[in-house]
Amino acid sequence: MQAYRVWSTWKDEPDDDAMVSAAFELHQRAQAIADQANTEHAQAVGPNPKCHYVVREETIPRDFTFQGKLDRVVMVFLGEDAVTTDLSKFTGS
């Protein structure tokens, strides 16, 4: 399934991008988190911060490597639900 996740990005270190743990079915839910994170970060460090939060689309489940170990993203918040759903057994398109 397609999902949206917030990533922290660095203007001077693009290889150090990091994903926020939660993924969302709805773009507007991820965008609300990115907007809030950008606001709070700018308040903490001042104008023109080096870190910026953006929303990226991805397919879930998906494999990735973290600290040299293979892992799998399987959790996503569906719709407006407040509870995560385990999609590790998801087989649809």
DSSP string, 79-92: TT-SS-EE-TT---
Domain assignment present for 6: yes
51 bridge partner residues: 10
Residue keyed to tokens 């606001």: 39
Structural domain boundaries enclosing 58:
2-86
Does a structural domain hold residue 92?
no
Indicate whether 87 pLDDT > 70.
no
H or E element in which residue 35 lies: helix 27-45
Mean pLDDT of the chain: 83
| Tens-place pLDDT, residues 50-69 | 899 999 999 887 787 888 99
Does residue 93 belong to any structural domain of this protein? Answer: no
The answer to whether position 47 is within a domain reads yes
Please report which confidence band the pLDDT of residue 93 belongs to, taking 50, 70 and 90 as the band edges: very low
91 belongs to a structural domain: no
In a domain, 50, yes or no: yes
pLDDT digits (tens, 9 = 90+) for 12-37: 887 888 887 778 999 999 999 899 99
pTM: 0.72
Give how many domains the chain has, as a whole number. 1
